[in-house]
Amino acid sequence: MSITKVRLSDQVYLELKRMLEEKEFSPGDKFHSENELTAMLGVSRSSIREALRLLEVAGFVTVQHGKGIFVSDPGNAGQKALEKWLNENETSLSEHFEIRLIIDPKAAASAARKADESDIKKLREICAQFKQSVAKGNTADTINFDEQFHLTLAKSTKNRTLYMIMKTMTQSLPEGWISSLHVPGRIEKTIKEHCAIVDAIEARDLARAEQKMAEHLTNALNDIRSSMHKDPEVTK
Amino acid sequence: MSITKVRLSDQVYLELKRMLEEKEFSPGDKFHSENELTAMLGVSRSSIREALRLLEVAGFVTVQHGKGIFVSDPGNAGQKALEKWLNENETSLSEHFEIRLIIDPKAAASAARKADESDIKKLREICAQFKQSVAKGNTADTINFDEQFHLTLAKSTKNRTLYMIMKTMTQSLPEGWISSLHVPGRIEKTIKEHCAIVDAIEARDLARAEQKMAEHLTNALNDIRSSMHKDPEVTK
DNA sequence: TAATTTGACTTGTCTGACAAGCAGATGTCT
DNA sequence: AGACATCTGCTTGTCAGACAAGTCAAATTA
């Protein structure tokens, strides 16, 4: 039997995690300050801070200099880990696309089966907002609503793990992906393609939802490639 | 533009990670001590220690009280965090299966396109070893080779991100999954199904590889369910 | 009233100190 | 000489206190 002396900061980590779960903190709430925590737990600030680093990478809290410690959306918890890995291993455009092409279409099919009316309503709203932002020429919003569309779709599969993976992938896209919306004509096509996907979901047509999503991704990638170089070959 | 003041410990984290990668440390090697690092990087020990906690959860190093800091196998690096999330959020059997059913068949198709001869050779070897362990009645090995099969297949897609996701999913299966091999007749079916998949990959038949993998997973799940309860409904 | 300053609070970093675990060198006794 | 105990120097773990730096609101001033 190995009696492992548990590091104090690890115990603090578990204790703080317990507090966050049990006390039912809401996302965005301000958590206790470092000084408060040292008093509450009776350990030094160093140990508190080391535990905070762990809570941070685990996605339970976000720490802001001068402001304080804030509870983050538990839906984000754990996701940061994957996100970090993706960023540090700078996945190529083709790798990213390959996975998106595997997951997203099937997720669309799954959504066509499991999405409830509020999900579909929200998807329609996002499509409308997307169209609006395009009309206004607000590119920041446009990019954001494009992201929102894929995320809402992922959420309506009711599969938390699937949602987590897709959310992470979506939010840590490689460079070129975002620029696809700058390709002439791509935005207009995106509007139509998104609508077609929602239509299929609403009609509970699994196969069509899957197909439309696959088309959407493939079209986007083709436009990206042709805009970047004339070279159709991607990396190696 | 948000100019984010980067935390010093985060910079140290990146710097240490760079050192670990570039200097080509071997797993098990002793890394620089905390005091050496403070001298080398010119920052306080606090910052070094906070960075070390990050390196630790990321799986790059292991720290032992009184002995020192040791380099760990980089193959596992980064994955531990995601594994932690999956364990802490105890994904249900149906959630796990849904994702496997999305990813694995497509991965098999991708492998049918990208696997080289050594990959296929290795897959055949694992199939043979699987069969051997079954004959010997060594269940531990049997489970291990089953895992190996799916991992090797994932690796032969040449997509690191895909491999990382599949590896994590495979290694943190929910309870019931492993017990599928204990269902009477399941092992024999597994042998045939694995062979059929490898055959398809060797023949470069993308569609068949995808289909055989889907069948394999579906059959496994059905056997699990029927063995657990007569109830075909899963969770809620 | 409006702009500015002050001050209290937050997290970020540094320093020095001591406890605790480990391993090899040293020394002592048989 | 060999076996055992001790000492010493390294390591990480924890603590306490100090100051820098960012943030926000109340108090002060023009």
Cβ contact (<8 Å) for B81 and A84? Answer: yes
Q: Can you tell me which residue has the tokens 């809401």?
A: A26
User: Within an 8 Å CB–CB cutoff, is residue A164 touching chain B?
Assistant: yes
Cβ < 7 Å from strand D, B residues 30-59: 33-36, 45-46, 49, 52
Among the ranges given (A32-46, A99-113, B71-85, B126-140), the one the predictor scored with the smallest mean pLDDT: B71-85
pLDDT 10s digits, A220-230:
888 877 776 54
CA torsion, ordered A218, A191, A211, A123, to nearest 10 deg: 130
Per CATH, the number for B8-76 is 1.10.10.10
Name, of A30-44, A153-167, B122-136, the range with top average pLDDT: A30-44
Residue B217, C-beta contacts closer than 8 angstroms, at least 6 positions apart: B97, B100, B101, B104, B105
- What mean pLDDT comes out for the span A96-105? 91
pLDDT over threshold 70, residue A84: no
Burial class of A74 by CB neighbour count within 10 A (0 to 12, 13 to 18, 19+): middle
Cα→Cα distances B138→A229, B8, B124, B145, Å: 55, 51, 19, 11
**Residue A113: CB less than 7 A from any atom in strand D:** no
A73: Cα within 13 Å, side-chain hemisphere:
6
Cα B2 to the center of its chain, rounded Å: 36
pLDDT at A231 (0 to 100): 45
Calpha distance A112→A68 (Å, rounded): 42
Collapsing DSSP to helix, strand or coil, B16 comes out as helix
pLDDT at B177 (0 to 100): 67
Among the ranges given (A146-160, A214-228, B57-71, B107-121), the one the predictor scored with the smallest mean pLDDT: A214-228
* Residue of B126 and A182 predicted with greater confidence: B126
Which residues in chain B are classed under CATH 1.10.10.10? 8-76
Helix ranges restricted to H, A137-235: 139-155, 160-171, 175-179, 186-202, 206-228
pLDDT over threshold 90, residue A82: no
User: Within an 8 Å CB–CB cutoff, is residue B84 touching chain A?
Assistant: yes
**pLDDT, chain A, mean:** 84
Calpha distance A11→A16 (Å, rounded): 9
List of E strands, chain B: 61-64, 68-71
Q: How confident is the model at residue B68 (pLDDT cuts 50, 70, 90)?
A: very high
Collapsing DSSP to helix, strand or coil, B6 comes out as coil
Collapsing DSSP to helix, strand or coil, B63 comes out as strand
User: Within an 8 Å CB–CB cutoff, is residue B91 touching chain A?
Assistant: yes
Residue A65 structure tokens: 């200099």
CB-based contact B201:B116 (threshold 8 Å): no
| Residue B61 phi, psi dihedral angles, 5° rounding | -140, 160
Contact residues on chain A for B82, CB-CB shorter than 8 A: 78, 81-82, 85
**Percentage of chain B with pLDDT > 70?**
82
Q: Cα-atom radius of gyration of chain A, to the nearest Å? A: 21
Which residues in chain A are classed under CATH 1.20.120.530? 79-228
CB-based contact A105:A211 (threshold 8 Å): yes
- What mean pLDDT comes out for the span B46-70? 94
pLDDT over threshold 90, residue B137: no
How many CB atoms lie under 10 A from the CB of residue A111?
29
pLDDT over threshold 90, residue B84: no
pLDDT 10s digits, A10-20:
999 999 999 98
Q: Characterize the bridge pairing of strands B68-71 and B61-64.
A: antiparallel
| Residue B32 phi, psi dihedral angles, 5° rounding | -60, 145
Q: Can you tell me which residue has the tokens 């489970």?
A: B143
**Minimum-distance CB partner of A54 among B57, B79, B107:** B57
- What mean pLDDT comes out for the span B66-84? 74
Per CATH, the number for A79-228 is 1.20.120.530
Stated as kind and residue range, the H or E segment containing A71 is strand A68-71
